[in-house]
Structure 1
């Protein structure tokens, strides 16, 4: 149970990192 929860957390964190990079890139382009 905990391992599945940790894997889910890692996926969510990776998604946030990607979204942050995209948002930062868009902000810098403006």
Structure 2
């Protein structure tokens, strides 16, 4: 497996998880 492709996939996955996390946190704030 290409390590560059794997790294890019990880970055996309992590940023997507962060986006959801911050979105959920923002919804909690009144």
TM-score interval w.r.t. the shorter chain?
A: 0.7 to 0.9
**How high is the TM-score relative to the length of structure 2?**
0.81
- Structure 1's consecutive aligned runs of 4 or more residues displaced over 3 angstroms after TM superposition are none
Q: Which runs of 5+ in 1 are unaligned?
A: none
Higher normalized helix content (fraction of residues): 1
Task: Could you tell me which runs of 5 or more consecutive residues in structure 2 were left unpaired when the two chains were aligned.
Answer: none
Query: What's the Cα RMSD here?
Result: 0.7
Matched residue, 2:19:
18
Report the Cα offset of residue 22 of structure 1. Answer: 0.4
